[in-house]
Amino acid sequence: MTEPVVQWRYVRSFADHLARCALHAAETVVVLSETDSRPVLVDTARLAAQSLGASVFDVCVATPAQTHAVPVRSTGASQALVGNRAVIAALRETDLVIDCTVEGLLHAPELGDILGAGTRVLMVSNEHPDLFERIRWDDDLPRRVGLALDHLRAARTMHVTSDAGTDLTIDLPGAVTAGSTGLTDGRGSIAHWPGGLVIAFPAAHTVAGRVVLAPGDLNLTFNRYVESAVALTIDDDHIVDIAGSGVDAALFGSYLDAFGEGAAYATSHVGWGMNPAARWESTALYERRETWGTEARAFAGNFLYSTGANEHAGRFTAGHFDLPMRDCTITLDDRTVVVRGALVAELAPGAP
């Protein structure tokens, strides 16, 4: 793809979504970016907010230095605000933050302070801008995500299986759960756009079994389709064995080992995609630096297994994999929500 530039159609897509997040002319907006942010996203967000009559300001911080032995990407935990009390104070004083940082504030330590002031945050995923117009808004998505989240919160156990050999059990009591619709929902709320995902951050000592990444599954840290099977044995939340004869297994183990800490091998979160407009094959159509994998996390019926930090289980690390998997069956107690990679009827578009 060519390097994108600001275009009216991008501005219109952003403005439409900001309106859905209840942005109006009386509000103050900060477009938060860093020196490595995509200029087209920053400029498009600013123009879109201005087109709705909001008072818009830019806050741009320096991208912090790389401190790890390997590149860190797609964590949702930007480090751009670390120790910057002045910027955090400014964000607390605004109505809406449009988050265009590279990694996003979703898991950043400073987020709670910002949301606690009543500021709402829309995290614009670090994607090529055509994704935001291509994944068209679905008015029924929030209802379906809400229903899926209700099922997740009512369950005590998630069980995930696949013909490839996955057989994973997650005990859900004590888990922190969330549903991503892409919309902010009142004061002190956060959303990432595009949305369409239901997830749980399990409590400590609740995850065990086997996860088998099959050809065609995705490793979003590498922005790579798995080409040879990788079998992960999980005990007490942690990966204790990585098996596979191909380069995928070798890369997997080598990357996690580079962080030199057990938390990199731990379970971060689990969940499933809910957005039928998101496409599994889209990763093949972008250069690796053009996409951060949000669409792959959200495509309908995928099982998302993630490794790394889980603050709710007391584990912190920069090592992180998001692994959307196809063709899995997900059961919550006795209720099946995904059958071999397809949402059950009540969670799919067109459900009554």
Residue 351's pLDDT is 66
Residue 109's pLDDT is 86
- What CATH number belongs to 8-134? 3.40.50.2300
- Give the domain ranges of the chain: 8-134, 141-347
Residue 108's pLDDT is 84
Spatial separation of the C-alpha atoms in residues 296 and 116, rounded to whole Å: 30
Question: Which residues does 188 contact at the CB level (< 8 Å), separation at least 6?
Answer: 115, 116, 117, 118, 119, 120
Q: Are 171 and 133 in contact (CB under 8 A)?
A: no
Residue 70's pLDDT is 84
Residue 287's pLDDT is 85
For the question of whether the overall pTM of this predicted structure is more than 0.95, the answer is no
Residue 309's pLDDT is 87
Residue 300's pLDDT is 97
Average pLDDT, consecutive stretches of 10 residues, N- to C-terminus, the chain (352 residues) = 86 97 96 96 98 97 87 78 92 97 88 95 94 93 97 98 98 96 94 95 98 97 95 98 96 95 95 96 88 92 95 88 97 98 94 64
Tens digits of per-residue pLDDT, 197-232? 999 999 999 999 999 999 999 999 999 999 999 999
Residue 295's pLDDT is 94
Residue 331's pLDDT is 98
Spatial separation of the C-alpha atoms in residues 346 and 352, rounded to whole Å: 7
Residue 77's pLDDT is 78
Q: Are 180 and 192 in contact (CB under 8 A)?
A: yes
Residue 24's pLDDT is 95
The four Cα atoms 65, 66, 72, 74 give a dihedral, to 10 degrees, of 10
